A and B are shown apart, each in its own frame.
Chain A
Amino acid sequence: MIDPDVLRIETDLVVAALYQRYGLDFRQYSRASLERRLLGLVEKLHLQHVTDLIPRLLHEPGFVDRMVNGIAVNVTEPFRDPECFSAIRQHVFPVLRTYPYFKIWHAGCASGEEVYSMAILLKEAGLLDRAQIYATDINTDALARARDGIYPVESIARGEKNYLAAGGTGRLADYTLQQYGSARFDSSLRENMVFSQHNVVSDEVFGEMVLVMCRNVLIYFERELQNRVIDLFQRSLVHRGFIALGAKESLQHITGGAAFECLDRPARLYRAI
């Protein structure tokens, strides 16, 4: 049976190995969820202890990617939390219209459904041509799926309702090519997208964004790390830029939070003052 103190020590050791060997910094991730993920990984790999991950991590080429992809939770869906998208249409799109060219950053985009959702709304508003969309994550598997833009047909079907709730005007399926149970988003949506690996904990500013969308990522971080990441976003924004967070995240208790006004509380949409 699990010993809570031993598990805590084992988790610390794995986190130290990731950091010291690969510079991957999970030290300020919320522990309860991290412990769960590590225990899940141990079970999946038929290991006995959490520390059994360490020799593989240190000696087995490529194992670190598997591990990160196992730790970094990447559950997402098209038009997740549609009120966020409709708030963006309402508050951000009019501002985007004033730019001849603008940049949007999806930090922690996971498998990319959120990115295609945004591209569709931009297209419907006639704004997609002027957009450069950066989609980043640390999870390389998820990022590869985002780049492909291929999803199960059922996932698209489930997204129809949220797409309409977000203010979509057509059918989500019409933006895809469906074959053998998979749906591939139209390549015209992808033209202005750039996918790359980026770690919000340790990598640098992505400049001149009008909107940073980072949803359901901060929830995995301890408060101090949240403060730092918001600071990174703040430095990545243009004057009066926007930040969109997940439904259970907010800038309320964040150190730099006072530099933002809240435009729509349920949608967690903020704007730099």
Chain B
Amino acid sequence: MRYDAIAIGGSHGSFDVLLRTFGEFSGIELPPIFVAIHIPRGSAPDFVTHFNTRCGCRMLEVEDKQVPMNNSIYLAPGGYHALIERDRSLSLSSDGPVNHAQPSIDVLLESAALAYGNRLLAVLLTGASSDGAAGMERVHALGGTTIVQDPKTAKAPVMPQAAIDRFQPDYLVVPEMLAGTIISLAGETQE
């Protein structure tokens, strides 16, 4: 595999994009996927159940000190930040909001960039704040590959636009193309 992990951030409007995207992953071998979207405290179990039933994927809530596995999606719980340690295990912290968000996309992406360098594929979706832009920039600077949702297709363009204003992403995609782009970059057909 060309990538060891995929990290995805999004906020307002990203839920639908993710539902459609994860639904297309069945039968594809993918590295672990980390997801930070701005969900309220205590809501992660409901999101996990919903994604798993709707998409047939294997989503889990991030747990502190968990070791991530391929073909699994890890959702950062509301009220906590999810981080990637240098040994590539997951950890949680409750440092208070960053960019008014907890989980913050920047916190996830910045730590993932340090842990994975050029082995990271990072995705930033629609959202109404600029959380994630700094994280994407760090992923880019450390050699990772960046995909940003085309702001024209975003329910809330602020988030993807903030990233574009900071650096030039490798791919600008419309939601219909996201799954295909991720699969062609990071996926392998399962035996």
Chain A residues near B96 (CB, 8 Å)?
Answer: 73, 75
Q: How far is the CA of A33 from the CA of B89 in the complex (A)?
A: 13
Partner of A253, one of B65, B85, B117: B65
* A136 within 8 Å of B (CB atoms): no
List the one stretch of A2-10, A89-97, A168-176 in contact with chain B.
Answer: A2-10
B142 touches A219 (CB 8 A): no
Given known contacts A4-B142, A223-B65, A248-B77, A30 and B91 CB-to-CB distance under 8 angstroms? yes
* A45 within 8 Å of B (CB atoms): no
* A31 within 8 Å of B (CB atoms): yes
Determine the main DSSP class of A at the interface with B. Answer: helix
CB closest residue in chain B, given A252: B63
* B94 within 8 Å of A (CB atoms): yes
Could you jot down 9 A-B contacts, CB within 8 Å? A1-B138, A4-B113, A30-B91, A32-B114, A32-B115, A36-B95, A73-B95, A246-B94, A248-B80
Q: How large is the interface on A (under 10, 10 to 19, 20 to 34, 35 or more residues)?
A: 20 to 34
Q: How far is the CA of A33 from the CA of B108 in the complex (A)?
A: 11
* A249 within 8 Å of B (CB atoms): yes
* A186 within 8 Å of B (CB atoms): no
Chain A residues near B83 (CB, 8 Å)?
Answer: 30, 32-33, 36
Q: Give the Cβ gap from B80 to chain A, nearest Cβ, in Å.
A: 6
* Docked complex: B122-179 residues within 8 A CB-CB of A: 138, 141-142
Given known contacts A31-B86, A248-B77, A1 and B94 CB-to-CB distance under 8 angstroms? no
CB closest residue in chain A, given B111: A32
Chain B residues near A37 (CB, 8 Å)?
Answer: 95
Taking A1-B138, A30-B85 as given, write out 18 further A-B residue pairs in contact, using a Cβ cutoff of 8 Å, ordered by the A residue number: A4-B115, A8-B86, A30-B83, A31-B85, A32-B83, A32-B85, A32-B91, A32-B93, A35-B114, A36-B83, A36-B110, A73-B94, A73-B95, A75-B96, A219-B93, A219-B94, A223-B65, A248-B92
A residues sitting closer than 8 Å to B (CB atoms) are 1-2, 4, 7-8, 30-33, 35-37, 73, 75, 216, 219-220, 223, 246, 248-249, 253
Q: Give the Cβ gap from A252 to chain B, nearest Cβ, in Å.
A: 10
B117 touches A4 (CB 8 A): yes
CB closest residue in chain A, given B93: A33
CB closest residue in chain A, given B140: A1
Chain A residues near B110 (CB, 8 Å)?
Answer: 36
A32 touches B86 (CB 8 A): yes
Q: Give the Cβ gap from B187 to chain A, nearest Cβ, in Å.
A: 26
* B18 within 8 Å of A (CB atoms): no
* B60 within 8 Å of A (CB atoms): no
Q: How far is the CA of A229 from the CA of B8 in the complex (A)?
A: 34
B57-93 vs A, CB cutoff 8 Å, 1 = contact: the mask equals 0000001110000000000010011011110000111
Given known contacts A4-B114, A35-B114, A248-B77, A220 and B138 CB-to-CB distance under 8 angstroms? no
B114 touches A2 (CB 8 A): yes
Q: Give the Cβ gap from A243 to chain B, nearest Cβ, in Å.
A: 17
Nearest 5 Cβ contacts at the A-B interface: A75-B96, A32-B83, A32-B111, A33-B93, A4-B114
A219 touches B64 (CB 8 A): yes
CB closest residue in chain B, given A215: B94
Given known contacts A1-B141, A2-B138, A32-B86, A220 and B93 CB-to-CB distance under 8 angstroms? yes
Q: How far is the CA of A178 from the CA of B59 in the complex (A)?
A: 46
Chain A residues near B64 (CB, 8 Å)?
Answer: 219, 248-249
Q: How far is the CA of A86 from the CA of B96 in the complex (A)?
A: 24
